[in-house]
Amino acid sequence: MSKVAKSKETAKKFQDAPFSCYSINVDTNIYETKKKENSLFKFSLRTRGDQLKNSGFNNEVSVGVIGLGIMGSSFAFNLLSRGYNVHVYNRTDEKAKPLLKKGAIFYSIPRELALVTDIIMTSLTDQNAIDTVAFGEDGFLNGANKGCLWIDLSTIDPSASIRHSEVAKQSGLERLDTPVVGSKDLALKGDLVVLVGGSREVFQKYEKFLKDVGKTVIYLGADGNGHKMKLAINLYLGLFAESFSEALAFSQKLGFEAKTFVETVNKTPHRNYISENKRPKIVQGDFKPAFSLNNLFKDLELIKEQIIKPGLYCQ
């Protein structure tokens, strides 16, 4: 049984839908909620779980993407293009619309998304955002099936990552920290580098899936180690980005155009990933972020906190 509504607001108001999800009919541009029988629903989940155990990964796996910012949306697009069933949640539901048109299903409550997914991916600003969507009555941990995998692709405090892992395991879930290196364009192609922390056994079970998220997957050991390495990489990236930006601003003070500076640098031995990859956008004057300064600042604050932690740094 299904109901249709001319707007997502009406779709959300259907009282009899057991799950607050809706998809969009691409032809009619009409939002649609589908009523599902609980028992049938649970049976199909068990079937998927068995497929997972018996035959490794295939595209029958249902993936939930929580957080549809620059990266989360790109992960979801990539997985849809690879044939996965993709279920999405975002605090601001408007951001889900382009994904609904590609076949994703939106849930307005993280717990309800978790009821239908085998793998839950979080891609959120920081540990506070994750706490908000993971815990509490409507948090996804409250709906996730036993044995479901939670991977966190955000860049967060490694201590929070270890805490999340402990809580997930207590709830019967498997969890890996899987922060990524690379930005929107690579995420859309599934060409990121994925830094993995957590149980080796769980990593090996899901390695094939992780390679669909990012072609290069690096296992780094215990829970939190993915997030620790991510901070080290972002310190390196942040310093590069800062030195490049300082020199660019300085060259402009000296009277050069940004285009002249970046093209000159790229003819010297001092060219690097930043100067080469940002060149086309700098030349066009396109400063729309692929990775926001706010998020880089957040990471530098996290790095500072690690450095001043007792015992980590000789003061």
Residue 277 in the binding site for ligand NAP (CB under 6 A) = no
Judged by CB under 6 A, the stretch of 2-10, 48-56, 117-125, 240-248 that binds ligand NAP is: 117-125
Q: Which of 69, 143, 158, 226 binds ligand NAP (CB under 6 A)?
A: 69
Minimum CB–partner distance for residue 6 and ligand NAP (Å): 24
Instruction: Count Cβ atoms within 10 A of the Cβ of residue 290 and give its class: 0-12 exposed, 13-18 middle, 19 or more buried.
Output: middle
CA–CA separation, 200 vs 261, rounded Å?
Answer: 46
Q: Which of 6, 53, 95, 230 is catalytic?
A: 230
Residue 62 in the binding site for ligand NAP (CB under 6 A) = no
Number of residues lying near ligand NAP (CB under 6 A): 26
Nearer to ligand NAP, 160 or 173 (CB): 160
Task: Quickly list DSSP for 291-310.
Answer: S-HHHHHHHHHHHHHHHHST
Residue 288 in the binding site for ligand NAP (CB under 6 A) = no
Residue 303 in the binding site for ligand NAP (CB under 6 A) = no
CA–CA separation, 169 vs 101, rounded Å?
Answer: 35
Residue 226 in the binding site for ligand NAP (CB under 6 A) = no
CA–CA separation, 202 vs 205, rounded Å?
Answer: 5
Q: Which of 108, 123, 127, 161 binds ligand NAP (CB under 6 A)?
A: 123
Ramachandran quadrant class, 88 (left: phi over 0; alpha: psi -120 to 50; beta: rest): beta
The identity of residue 31, as a single letter, is Y
Residue 122 in the binding site for ligand NAP (CB under 6 A) = no
Residue 95 in the binding site for ligand NAP (CB under 6 A) = yes
Q: Which of 125, 142, 216, 251 binds ligand NAP (CB under 6 A)?
A: 125
CA–CA separation, 20 vs 31, rounded Å?
Answer: 12
168 Cβ neighbours under 8 A, 6+ residues apart: 141, 150, 174, 175
Using the 8-state DSSP alphabet, how is residue 126 labeled?
Answer: S
**Residues β-bridged to residue 226:** none
Residue 288 among the catalytic residues: no
CA–CA separation, 130 vs 123, rounded Å?
Answer: 8
Residue 132 in the binding site for ligand NAP (CB under 6 A) = yes
Strand order across the 193-196 sheet: 180-181, 193-196, 216-219
Nearer to ligand NAP, 132 or 264 (CB): 132
Using the 8-state DSSP alphabet, how is residue 36 labeled?
Answer: -
Residue 155 in the binding site for ligand NAP (CB under 6 A) = yes
Nearer to ligand NAP, 198 or 214 (CB): 214
Residue 291 in the binding site for ligand NAP (CB under 6 A) = yes
Instruction: Write out the residues near ligand NAP by the rule CB under 6 A.
Output: 67-72, 90-92, 95, 123-125, 128-129, 132-133, 154-155, 180, 183, 290-292, 295, 299
Catalytic machinery residues: 230
